[in-house]
Amino acid sequence: MTKALLIIDYTNDFVASNGALTCGTSAQKIESTIVRLADQFLEADDYVLLPTDTHQPNDQFHPEHKLFPEHNLVGSWGHELYGKLASWYTTHQESKRVWQFAKNRYSAFQNTNLDNYLRERGITELWLTGVCTDICVLHTAIYAYNLNYKLTVPEVGVATFTPQGQEWALAHFKDCLGATVIPVN
């Protein structure tokens, strides 16, 4: 069965200590897990997808404009993939099994071609990693659940701003979306 690893919003603005909307240390701690999973998925002839939050400067019509400071502006340092994942992507970006794409809402499915991409390739199982567990990862999971995808969330592959948000989202994945949550080893 072909499956896909989604690495959601793992960018400088969300992960680096000086990012515009950073989760900080909690996001930095999952870096090795994400890169290790990306390698494992490619070695198994599965897919690695990088839905990336993408905004235009001064977009007063985007709903996040009123909620958060500007972040992940197209072409900026903050929009670039973080750390070891940036290097991994540079090495593998020509693979037909690696796809980075822009998203402009919390869910990686909203306003994108993700569902068609997955269905064309017969992918029915998604592993969700990245940030923020209780925002973009959560909304992607809900959308995927409603489209009947099987979900797996490695607990050490997702991070967010607060321990409470992390705990709540992990429970929601398992209890309300039927996801397999892989606990910390």
pLDDT digits (tens, 9 = 90+) for 5-43: 999 999 999 999 999 999 999 999 999 999 999 999 999
Distance between the two ends of the chain, CA-based, in angstroms? Answer: 25
Q: How far apart are CA 169 and CA 164, in angstroms?
A: 9
DSSP output for 22-59:
--THHHHTTHHHHHHHHHHHHHTT-EEEEEEE-B-TT-
Kindly state the percentage of the chain with pLDDT values over 90: 87
pLDDT at 164 over 80: yes
* 182 band by pLDDT with thresholds 50, 70 and 90: very high
CA atoms in the 13 A half-sphere facing the CB of 105: 10
CA 54 vs CA 14, 128, 154: distances in Å: 12, 19, 24
Q: How far apart are CA 182 and CA 81, in angstroms?
A: 24
* 69 band by pLDDT with thresholds 50, 70 and 90: confident
Domain range 3-182, CATH architecture: 3-Layer(aba) Sandwich (3.40)
Q: Which residue has the tokens 């997702």?
A: 158
Q: How far apart are CA 35 and CA 22, in angstroms?
A: 19
pLDDT digits (tens, 9 = 90+) for 76-102: 999 999 999 999 999 999 999 999 999
Q: Is the dihedral of CA 105, 175, 170, 154 positive or negative?
A: negative
103 contact partners, CB below 8 Å, separation of at least 6: 51, 52, 53, 54, 110, 111, 112
Q: How far apart are CA 48 and CA 39, in angstroms?
A: 9
Q: Per the structure block, which two tokens stand in for 179?
A: 């996801």
Q: What is the pLDDT of residue 185?
A: 57
pLDDT digits (tens, 9 = 90+) for 98-139: 999 999 999 999 999 999 999 999 999 999 999 999 999 999
